[in-house]
Amino acid sequence: MDYEVVLPAAGSGKRMGAGTNKLFLSLADKPILIHTLEVFEKDSKCTGIYLAVKPEEREYIQRLLNEYNITKVKGLPNGGKERQHSVHACLKVMKDVDIVLVHDAARPFILQSVIDRLVETAYEKGAAIAGVRAKDTMKKVREGIIVETVEREDLWAIQTPQAFRFELLRQAEDLAEKVGFLGTDEAMLVERLGHEIHIVESSYENIKITTKEDLIFGEAILKNRQLKTER
Ligand SMILES: Nc1ccn([C@@H]2O[C@H](COP(=O)(O)OP(=O)(O)OP(=O)(O)O)[C@@H](O)[C@H]2O)c(=O)n1
Ligand SMILES: C[C@](O)(CO)[C@H](O)COP(=O)(O)O
């Protein structure tokens, strides 16, 4: 079951505070962006990659694609002000796609087994997203005061990839743009259409590189994986 992947990569990395797009920072001597791209470059079921980029970074990214022999990129549209706009920009240039996976370029540790289950579920059900069960107690806080403890039993920390039948996601993104709705993930937009969305249990290693501590976690994840392959 083939799919195409949208990788929003046009962020500013404000929370990382590196003064550059955090995707250009290295883990084990390789840019984070390349770690993520290589997952999809190696997956024979992935038939195309679309990268939303900042115009001023396009030339550098194209050099990286050449340097690391990333051949599946079909489009590098301009990203937008928000992550959602960057994803939408990719959808607008995609054609003849059945299943689309949206994945944060800042999540380089996604497992192939999770991708496979997401694609399979999206083919069967139309929508499937990655997540892990919450490990911490979560509470709502207003003005420094706890107002509610959210029942943890049914709470999941949602990640990407998020996989959809292309037409469903395109419809959801077009409607959100029309009414000015802004979500923090693609599932929020599809939920508004009333469409059922399935969860696929992912891995706690599938972190989003967001703050400096995540670089330390990321190096440890890579080291751990290298040790496993050496055994
Ligand atoms: N306008 C935006 C914002 C984010 N992203 C991408 O969406 C992914 C997840 O976003 P996030 O982790 O928030 O990245 P940044 O926006 O760069 O981080 P920050 O919010 O700290 O600035 C990243 O791969 C980022 O490059 C994007 O393509 N376009
Ligand atoms: C899409 C996402 O990764 C799901 O957890 C998350 O919402 C992205 O948030 P960000 O602030 O745009 O990184």
> Ligand 1 atom 12: the closest Cα is on which residue?
210
27: domain CATH number is: 3.90.550.10
Mean pLDDT rounded to a whole number for the chain: 97
| pLDDT above 80 (res 32) | yes
Mean pLDDT, residues 30-49 taken together: 98
- The band of 159, judged by pLDDT with boundaries at 50, 70 and 90, is very high
CA atoms within 13 A on the CB side of 83: 18
Asked if residue 208 has its Cβ within 6 Å of ligand 2, the reply is: yes
Positive/negative CA dihedral, 151, 126, 6, 70: positive
Q: Is 83 in the pocket of ligand 2 (CB under 6 A)?
A: yes
Q: Does the CB atom of residue 159 touch ligand 2 within 6 A?
A: yes
Q: Residue 205 Cα, ligand 2 centroid: separation in angstroms?
A: 15
pLDDT at 228 over 90: no
Nearest to 4 by CA among 46, 65, 40: 46
Which residues does ligand 1 sit against, CB inside 6 Å? 8-16, 22-23, 52, 79-83, 86, 104-106, 208, 210
Distance (Å) from CA 133 to ligand 1 centroid: 23
- Please give the tally of structural domains in the chain: 1
Q: What is the pLDDT of residues 86-106, one digit of tens each?
A: 999 999 999 999 999 999 999
Question: For residue 72, what are the domain limits?
Answer: 3-230
State yes or no: pLDDT of 113 exceeds 80. yes
Tell me which residue of 188, 140, 29, 8 sits closest to 87, measured CA to CA.
Answer: 8
Which of 29, 83, 16 minimizes the C-alpha distance to 53? 83
DSSP state of 11: -
Question: How high is the ipTM of this complex?
Answer: 0.98
Residues 6+ apart with CB under 8 A from 182: 82, 84, 176
Quick one: which atom of ligand 1 is closest to the CA of 209?
12
- Distance in Å, CA 160 to ligand 2 centroid: 8
pLDDT digits (tens, 9 = 90+) for 214-224: 999 999 999 99
162 Cα to the center of ligand 2, angstroms: 11
pLDDT per residue over 73-85, tens digit each? 999 999 999 999 9
Which ligand is closest to the CA of 207, given by its number?
2
In whole angstroms, what separates CA 215 from the centre of its chain? 17
- Determine whether the shortest distance from the Cβ of 104 to ligand 2 is under 6 A: yes
| pLDDT beyond 80 at 231 | no
pLDDT digits (tens, 9 = 90+) for 182-224: 999 999 999 999 999 999 999 999 999 999 999 999 999 999 9
Q: What is the three-class DSSP state of 212?
A: helix
CA of 33 to the centre of ligand 1 (A): 12
Q: Is the Cβ–Cβ distance between 64 and 34 less than 8 Å?
A: yes
CA distance 178 to 193: 14
165 lines ligand 2 (CB under 6 A): no
Q: Yes or no: say if 1 and 119 are a contact pair by the CB < 8 Å rule.
A: yes
For 167-193, give the DSSP string. HHHHHHHHHHHHHT---SSHHHHHHTT
**Helical H runs in the chain?**
32-42, 58-67, 83-93, 112-125, 166-179, 186-191, 212-230
- Please report the pLDDT score of residue 116 as a whole number: 98
Q: What residue owns the CA closest to ligand 2's atom 10? A: 184
Of the ligands numbered here, which is closest to the C-alpha atom of 20?
A: 1
